[in-house]
Structure 1
Amino acid sequence: MALLEICCYGIDDAVIAQQQGADRIEFCAAPKEGGLTPSAGALKSIRQRVTIPVHPIVRPRGGDFCYRADEFAAMLEDIQLLRELGFPGLVTGILNEDGQVDMPRMREIMSVAQGMSVTFHRAFDMCVNPQQACDVLAELGVARILTSGQQASAEKGLSLIRELNAHSCAPIIMAGAGVRPQNLEIFLEAGVKEVHSSAGRWFASPMRYRNSGLSMSSDARADEYARYGVDGAAVAKMKQIIALHRP
């Protein structure tokens, strides 16, 4: 039976996902950035409240995946903290200037994360040669690759996901980006062993007073009175589809 990972941007969301049948949580901050490293306080709190495996993301900023020396040093410190807090795994990824997996830095990460399950995230979708990247990540001992098949959504990238999934020596290929109850069956039919979904939607802020003439965001168009959260019904539906699927 396929494993269902839910991406959560808050501790209450992770609790909801767990209650509705999620098998694992990817824990992040900053949904509008695509997921950044959560704070130490949030990491300690989720360890106390969630019992299914939680894999926090280690990503110091948004944008590309080619990091400065100070950013990489912070990533190693964050991974050390995750080990000390007892997390079973983490999610990260680093590329070099030429769009290849940054092997020297990934070797350092694997050394610091020793004993933890490492997922190489969608930095994979920005690499120049996915087949080669898959091979070197297998060499590193990466447990899984989160990918949309190098397309805007995993549904559009299904052909590459199938190809990588058929590669016997590869890490687990986990399909993610736009995975929802409506299209989950196509990934199960393709033999994908793990699927990743935010199962989320935007919720209105509870604030009654709103200063509409002022923004705290660098993007003046951003809606600062909307919050992204897990839709528990969507998680439950996906878990039901997985349970009923017959290969």
Structure 2
Amino acid sequence: MSKIEIACFNPESAIIAFENGADRIELCDGLSEGGTTPGFETTKQLREKINIPIYVMIRPRGGDFTYSDSEFEQMKTDVDHLKSLKVDGFVFGILDEKDEVNVEQNKTLVELASPLPCTFHRAFDRAKGLEGTLEKVIECGFTTILTSGQKPNVSEGKENLKKLVELADGKLEILVGGGLRSSNIEEIRASTKAGYFHSSAITDGGSFANPDEIVALKNK
């Protein structure tokens, strides 16, 4: 049985994930943009309805992962406000103009989020170099990296994912996601030896998680 985080782009998906055995929710808005910061009220209402961990995306817009000063200020404000809602963690990732991990800005947000854990999201897959990027993310104080192994999806990235799990060596968790489905999770788990997996469980091109897919992911 795998540990499963479901990326939910609306509260309805989060309830479906909760009711069908997900271990954790990654709560976002902005499905078409690949995930942005959810609204304060949405998060507040969801927190009152479910008791599994909710990690909240902090991303002011879609597109790249290099932010202006005002966008960075917005991210700090969002962490501060959402932290008051008794969420369980945050998900973000900031790169510099060279597509390398912006250690200073990420560290600032990790410290602001403390003592809550933070996941460095798939900005990792946009960065250059596996080992160096991993070291920088560890230096920032993240507890988890969400990655497809710096490839377009987990199937293409499985060799890199295996390497990342070995390199991380318990210093942080490698959360495997990006094109992960119940149809490939067994193969990916066997080849990577990862322990935590991430999927939207959306199977019809819509915006809601599929209950059967969550159950299948969990039980494979």
Same fold (TM over 0.5): yes
Please list every run of 5 or more consecutive structure 2 residues that lacks an aligned counterpart in the other structure.
none
Deviations for 1:184-216, whole angstroms, at most 9, x for unmatched residues? 10122121111000001347xxxxxxxxxxxxx
Q: Which residue of 2 aligns with 1:175?
A: 176
1:129 aligns with 2:129: yes
CA RMSD of aligned residues (A): 1.2
**SS at 1:52's partner residue?**
coil
Q: Which residue of 2 aligns with 1:185?
A: 186
- Counterpart contact for 2:2–2:219, Cα < 8 Å: no
Which amino acid in structure 2 is aligned with residue 94 of structure 1? I
CA–CA separation in structure 1 for the residues paired with 2:129 and 2:155: 20
**SS at 1:127's partner residue?**
coil
CA–CA separation in structure 1 for the residues paired with 2:24 and 2:104: 29
Which amino acid in structure 2 is aligned with residue 171 of structure 1? L
CA–CA separation in structure 2 for the residues paired with 1:56 and 1:188: 25
Shift of 1:229: 0.7
Shift of 1:170: 3.9
- Counterpart contact for 2:201–2:214, Cα < 8 Å: yes
Shift of 1:9: 0.9
Aligned match for 2:207, one of 212, 218, 228: 228
Q: Which residue of 1 aligns with 2:66?
A: 66
**Aligned residue pairs: how many?**
218
Q: Which structure features the higher share of helix residues?
A: 2
Shift of 1:123: 0.3
Task: Give TM-score, length-normalised by structure 1.
Answer: 0.85
Which amino acid in structure 1 is aligned with residue 57 of structure 2? I
CA–CA separation in structure 2 for the residues paired with 1:41 and 1:60: 16
1:33 aligns with 2:33: yes
- Counterpart contact for 2:107–2:141, Cα < 8 Å: no
- Counterpart contact for 2:18–2:50, Cα < 8 Å: yes
Rg (Cα) greater in structure: 1
Q: Which residue of 1 aligns with 2:101?
A: 101
Task: Give TM-score, length-normalised by structure 2.
Answer: 0.96
Q: Which residue of 1 aligns with 2:216?
A: 237
Deviations for 1:52-97, whole angstroms, at most 9, x for unmatched residues? 0000100000000000000000000000112111111010000000
Q: Which residue of 2 aligns with 1:223?
A: none
CA–CA separation in structure 1 for the residues paired with 2:87 and 2:111: 16
Q: Which residue of 2 aligns with 1:218?
A: none
Structure 1 ranges of 4+ moved more than 3 A: none
Which amino acid in structure 2 is aligned with residue 191 of structure 1? K
CA–CA separation in structure 2 for the residues paired with 1:102 and 1:42: 29
Which amino acid in structure 2 is aligned with residue 98 of structure 1? K
